A and B are shown apart, each in its own frame.
Chain A
Amino acid sequence: SQTIHQWPATLVQPVGSPLSLECTVEGTSNPNLYWYRQAAGRGLQLLFYSIGIDQISSEVPQNLSASRPQDRQFILSSKKLLLSDSGFYLCAWRGTRTDTQYFGPGTRLTVL
Chain B
Amino acid sequence: DARVTQTPRHKVTEMGQEVTMRCQPILGHNTVFWYRQTMMQGLELLAYFRNRAPLDDSGMPKDRFSAEMPDATLATLKIQPSEPRDSAVYFCASGAPDGGAYEQYFGPGTRLTVT
Chain B associates with chain A? no
- The interface of chain B, by Cβ under 8 A from chain A, is none
- The interface of chain A, by Cβ under 8 A from chain B, is none
